Structure 1
Amino acid sequence: MPRDTRLLQRIYRNLPARGFKPATLLAIGGAVMIYGWWQYGKGAREQREYAREKMWSRIHLIPALQAEEDRDQVRRYLADQARERELLGGENFKVYNNDRFVKPTFAVTPERTAKK
Structure 2
Amino acid sequence: MPLAYNQDLPPSGGFETLKYKRSLPFRGPSGLVLLLGTLGVCGYGFYRYGLGAVEQRELKREKAWSRIHLIPLLEAENDRDKYRRAIAEKTIEDAIMQRHKGWKAGQSVYFNDRGDEEKVV
Same-fold status (TM-score > 0.5): yes
Q: Given the alignment of the two structures, is residue 94 of structure 1 paired with residue 114 of structure 2, yes or no?
A: no
Deviation at 1:80, TM superposition (A): 0.7
Q: Which residue of 2 aligns with 1:80?
A: 89
Alignment map for 1:19-98 (pairs within 5 Å): 19-89=28-98, 91-92=104-105, 93-95=107-109, 97-98=116-117
- Percent identical among aligned pairs is 42
Amino acid at match of 2:59: Y
C-alpha offsets along residues 35-64 of structure 1, whole Å, 9 cap, x if unaligned?
001101111111111111111101111110
Larger Rg computed on CA atoms: 2
Give the number of the structure whose residues are more often helix, by fraction. Answer: 1
Total equivalences in the alignment: 97
TM-score by length of 1: 0.68
Aligned equivalent of 2:27, options 12, 18, 23: 18
Gaps of 5+ in 2: 1-14, 111-115
Deviation at 1:100, TM superposition (A): 6.2
Superposed CA RMSD: 2.7
CA distance in 2, matches of 1:100, 1:28: 77
Deviation at 1:17, TM superposition (A): 4.8
Amino acid at match of 1:60: H
Amino acid at match of 1:65: L
SS in 1 for 2:40: helix
Gaps of 5+ in 1: 103-116
